[in-house]
Structure 1
């Protein structure tokens, strides 16, 4: 006879059945990326929206090729191209209302330009002239974030603060697949979910964190599956299908604005160019892999749909390309102008009121600049006298 079989023995009461706080099923993404182009649903797509997306995609591709060329010419220090990812960039900007905020990463200059930012201002950081190069409040585009994923907690903080103030604002934060391995990513998602902040997280999964493939970062079924761990819905979408990305992001923004909380969207796409002009992508991926993704080009996918439905003719396609060329020519001309830089601007926009240390440093730099100018004038006068 065991102890529990003895008369009067203590028998612990079994705990009540545990129930999860949230049913995880509705939070899980689809098994396959959501698509519209190439499916029966494509026939119902609004023609004007398709034309709008096509125009932005063509201009976006031309913007990428022009910025890449400027890097080769020495006009940019570095350029992280989004060629192949234009559908994600454009959809992120178009899904937002004017009052909303976009939080881009360093690769997302095209999203900022689509939102209305001057292309030259968007590239100022990459030229090395300013830390930002534009007023974030003008277009509600946060500074381009070079550190990985640091923009995500900032987006959550702004969205949470806006809701506390009663402002009808949504923040859309962009990040690459490599950024999901950073602590900021997990902290931002947890913070957003707990506070039901009106934030949409867009992960552009382009396959590589520079040279590290996604398989070396995570064995999760998808990055969208990570959403369920934080209690928010995850969506998986074909990142090269512009109408599909726009629909998913628009729905997530609408849900956030209505008080439904954050959403994690993974857009499966591909970076056709190297990580930056300083990267040799041939060392970690094959030409065959790149060629396979070129056949799923986001620009061509929308163009084929327009042609299939007789929504555009040859003249219409030519007009879109000509507009893109005019944009590229304007960007090229203005970027070829040498900027007038004032080193004293280093001390602007650091603090609302300069600290004693900053004032000391500013005076030191001012004295150095004055001495250099005087020295240059003196040498110039000597040279003039010699020439005469």
Structure 2
């Protein structure tokens, strides 16, 4: 006698998928190893180098906020709290890999080879800030939310068609996963098995919109499943865990196994940008304190100190080095000839539209005075 077919339960399927996304973690908040099997193959020198980069970048963030308030920088999106998410993922890359950043992802560009002076000029809106040196495989930070995901799918497909052992990596925030470009990008890359890594830096707030109002999905990582992309949820305050999952995603991609989506659970300590956002209006002091206890630099510092690889003297030395580097870079940026409106018009068009030709003459006269 045939058994009766069980009624399909769509809710049960959803719950089962969501339950699979356990967060990958190697270091706990106290810097203790909680998953020895996942420890990445990094030398002591590499571990120290990663810490140095995180410390340097934290200083850069502090100084950039100061410079912005002084009127010496333009657009700036703070990065403190996201160092592990940003720098450990970039550390897993090779020089031939391409980075397609969002506007908060300038640190990855710098460690991929972009001179700091160029980063400062980008912030000021100077065209030279978008003229990257030869060999820096990256695009300028994308301002349009999620647009870099579509671009990354195209760049990754280009890498595949050229037979290169490289990947294209991109970043967006939790809010970016609600954009149409997000879905189009991951679906295209999945369909063509393009060597792409899609990082979602879930810093809990899309400007002032909390993550729980952004989507009803229990994780953002699971959004990759619908496109057939292997996806992972990782502790974004744990540099070793972020490095590990990114390295494995890269290895899969260069083997021809297609893209990966990585959700990093992280936090931004500062405002969304320095353009008037006030996080105290939508975040509580208790929430800030909870995440400050998970600070990626403090956690990694404890881990390295326990191994005898780091101490206060080393950290202070690197803080001073960062300050000196930043001082020299901003001085160099100050020495670059100011951009004029007519210069911008000249480099924007091969053939200037008639309506702008008239404006061009007006500005040219103003600039001559």
Q: TM (normalized to structure 2)?
A: 0.87
1:368 aligned partner = 362
Distance in 2, Cα, partners of 1:215 & 1:146:
24
The alignment status of 1:39 with 2:33, answered yes or no, reads: yes
Residues 363 and 102 from structure 1, CA distance in 2 versus in 1: closer, same or farther, beyond 3 angstroms? same
2:200 aligned partner = 203
Residues 282 and 185 from structure 1, CA distance in 2 versus in 1: closer, same or farther, beyond 3 angstroms? same
Residues 304 and 73 from structure 1, CA distance in 2 versus in 1: closer, same or farther, beyond 3 angstroms? same
Kept in 2: contact 1:27–1:231 (CA 8 A): no
Deviation at 1:349, TM superposition (A): 5.1
Kept in 2: contact 1:150–1:184 (CA 8 A): yes
Residues 137 and 93 from structure 1, CA distance in 2 versus in 1: closer, same or farther, beyond 3 angstroms? farther
> Which residue, 311, 325, 332 being the options, matches 2:323?
325
Residues 52 and 360 from structure 1, CA distance in 2 versus in 1: closer, same or farther, beyond 3 angstroms? same
Residues 368 and 295 from structure 1, CA distance in 2 versus in 1: closer, same or farther, beyond 3 angstroms? same
1:64 aligned partner = 61
Residues 38 and 339 from structure 1, CA distance in 2 versus in 1: closer, same or farther, beyond 3 angstroms? farther
1:114 aligned partner = 111
Kept in 2: contact 1:119–1:331 (CA 8 A): yes
Deviation at 1:363, TM superposition (A): 4.7
Distance in 2, Cα, partners of 1:213 & 1:315:
39
The alignment status of 1:267 with 2:264, answered yes or no, reads: yes
Distance in 2, Cα, partners of 1:83 & 1:169:
29
Runs of 5+ unmatched residues, structure 2: 9-13
Distance in 2, Cα, partners of 1:143 & 1:137:
14
Residues 204 and 350 from structure 1, CA distance in 2 versus in 1: closer, same or farther, beyond 3 angstroms? same
Runs of 5+ unmatched residues, structure 1: 1-14, 19-23, 377-388
Kept in 1: contact 2:99–2:169 (CA 8 A): yes
Q: Any idea what the Cα deviations from partners look like across 1:9-38, whole Å, max 9, x if unmatched?
A: xxxxxx9xx9xxxxx999986422333442
Distance in 1, Cα, partners of 2:113 & 2:125:
21
Distance in 2, Cα, partners of 1:138 & 1:307:
35
Deviation at 1:362, TM superposition (A): 6.5
Distance in 2, Cα, partners of 1:86 & 1:96:
16
Deviation at 1:114, TM superposition (A): 1.5
Q: Which of structures 1 and 2 has the bigger CA Rg?
A: 1
